[in-house]
DNA sequence: GCTTACGATAAGCGCATGCGTATCATGGGT
DNA sequence: ACCCATGATACGCATGCGCTTATCGTAAGC
């Protein structure tokens, strides 16, 4: 059962993390569907949570989407009143993106439902592993891709 | 900078893990290219490491590939002498897949290079977080997708 | 022997995605 | 005024992938 092990006895990180990520995404999909959100739309809501984003291109880069693909996503979110696209008075080429109150409520509801599921999963872990896991994950998540790739 | 946080103060697991997985895969690609391997081919070598696999369909399922897509991958690996496809004497419809010695050497070389990079990354973490991270990751990696999705 | 089931392979369809390019509006520098 | 860079948008192309179907060989039960 324990395949792909090295002398130190662990599989490649990617070999463990990528399938785990797939499963976590699969776990989110039903929740998102209940709220009528697609994954890209949810990613946008998450990214816009804290502060507005000045340009759509920057938003696309941040969430790892193609800049030509989020246009339709933003159209849908704006149409449903979840985000605002306002021309930046200082640079009218740019559209400042921000959450509406409804958008924030949507984000809170969905994220709360998702994290509730995740807590059930984490509850399987011993307390100290769980804390180390979350600490390490948050540390690694703040690294830039180039720092992970190997500088 | 710390966006997408809940009252407990962490982003969604998937929101951290998926980009991390992408970055780890990106880090592997140059190593794989040096050895002339594609990601699917490397996945096959990893899966075959410990024991032979009885059918190609089972292999495809295990590594998350479509069963019709790995045919070409196996063709290439067999042509390069890295794997063997032997008819199962007990059921000649099946092709028992196994690593050749050359395949095992290739796997060891590539995995060692990859894990060497990963160790550099893990070295950034405090010792206890690192241990908890690896423990938790290995525990979660052995769960079936349905157990992660929420049973 | 005949039928049914399983496995490998090939070929085609469709979706999601990334990329390049063109267009138009705008801003900033010369 | 003029030129070039930037931003949003739309369009077309190519790719990679999953899914489905069809064909063929083989195994196993009747």
Residue B14 at interface with chain A, using a CB cutoff of 8 Å? yes
- Positive or negative: CA dihedral A129, B113, B24, B67: negative
Comparing B148 with B115, which gets the higher pLDDT?
Answer: B115
Q: Which nucleotides of C are covered by protein (CB under 7 A)?
A: 6-12, 17-21, 25-28
Residues of A in contact with B62 (CB under 8 A): none
Q: Is the separation of the CB atoms in A8 and B129 below 8 Å? A: no
Section B11-15 average pLDDT: 92
Cβ within 8 Å, pair B111-A136: no
Domain A28-141: state its class: mainly alpha
Residues of A in contact with B13 (CB under 8 A): 24, 118, 121, 137
Residues of A in contact with B115 (CB under 8 A): 6, 8, 10, 12
Q: Poorest-confidence range of A56-60, B49-53, B70-74, B113-117?
A: B49-53
pLDDT digits (tens, 9 = 90+) for A73-128: 999 999 999 999 999 998 999 999 999 999 999 999 999 999 999 999 999 999 99
pLDDT band at B1 (very low <50, low <70, confident <90, very high): very low
Q: How far apart are CA A96 and CA A89, in angstroms?
A: 9
Cβ within 8 Å, pair A6-B46: no
- Positive or negative: CA dihedral A14, A33, A98, A68: positive
Is the distance between the Cβ of A85 and the closest atom of strand D smaller than 7 Å? Answer: yes
pLDDT of B116 over the 60 cut: yes
Cβ within 8 Å, pair B18-A15: no
Section B102-110 average pLDDT: 96
Chain mean pLDDT for chain B:
89
DSSP secondary structure, B100-128, as one string: -HHHHHHHHHHHHHHHHHHHHHHTTS-HH
Tokens matching residue A18: 């990528």
What is the predicted pLDDT for the residue at B3?
45
Q: Is the separation of the CB atoms in B84 and B69 below 8 Å? A: no
pLDDT of A68 over the 70 cut: yes
Residue A109 at interface with chain B, using a CB cutoff of 8 Å? no
CB atoms < 10 A from the CB of B123, how many? 9
The nucleotide whose C1' lies nearest the CA of A38 is C16
CATH 3.40.50.150 assigned to domain B13-131? The reply is: no
Section B75-81 average pLDDT: 94
Is the distance between the Cβ of B29 and the closest atom of strand D smaller than 7 Å? Answer: no
pLDDT digits (tens, 9 = 90+) for B80-92: 999 999 999 889 9
B12-39: string of b/e by CB count within 10 Å (b at 16+)? bbbbbbbbbbbbbbebbeebbeeeebeb
Is the distance between the Cβ of A68 and the closest atom of strand D smaller than 7 Å? Answer: yes
pLDDT of A2 over the 70 cut: no
pLDDT digits (tens, 9 = 90+) for B121-146: 999 999 999 999 999 999 998 888 78
pLDDT digits (tens, 9 = 90+) for A6-60: 455 789 999 999 999 999 999 999 999 999 999 999 999 999 987 889 999 999 9
pLDDT of A4 over the 70 cut: no
Residues of B in contact with A21 (CB under 8 A): 14, 17-18, 20-21
Q: Which nucleotides of D are covered by protein (CB under 7 A)?
A: 6-12, 17-21, 25-28
Share above pLDDT 90 across residues of chain B, in percent, rounded to a whole number: 75
Q: Is the separation of the CB atoms in B99 and B107 below 8 Å? A: yes
What is the predicted pLDDT for the residue at B8?
57
Cβ within 8 Å, pair B19-A64: yes
Distance from CA(A111) to C1'(D21), angstroms, rounded: 41
Domain spans, chain A: 28-141
Q: Poorest-confidence range of A62-76, B6-20, B125-139?
A: B6-20
């Amino acid at each position: 059962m324990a395949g792909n092990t090295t002398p130190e006895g662990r599989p490649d990180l990617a070999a463990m993390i990528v399938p785990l990520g797939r499963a976590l995404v699969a776990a989110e999909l039903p929740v998102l569907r209940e709220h009528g959100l697609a994954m890209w739309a949810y990613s946008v809501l998450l990214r816009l949570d804290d502060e507005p984003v000045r340009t759509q291109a920057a938003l696309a880069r941040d969430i790892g989407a193609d800049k030509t693909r989020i246009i339709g996503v933003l159209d849908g979110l704006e149409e449903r009143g979840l985000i605002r696209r306002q021309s930046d008075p200082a640079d009218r080429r740019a559209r400042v993106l921000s959450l509406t109150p409804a958008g924030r409520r949507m984000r809170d509801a969905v994220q709360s439902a998702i994290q509730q599921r995740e807590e059930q999963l984490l509850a399987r872990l011993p307390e100290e592993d769980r804390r180390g896991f979350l600490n390490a994950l948050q540390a690694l998540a703040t690294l830039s891709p180039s720092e992970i790739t190997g500088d």
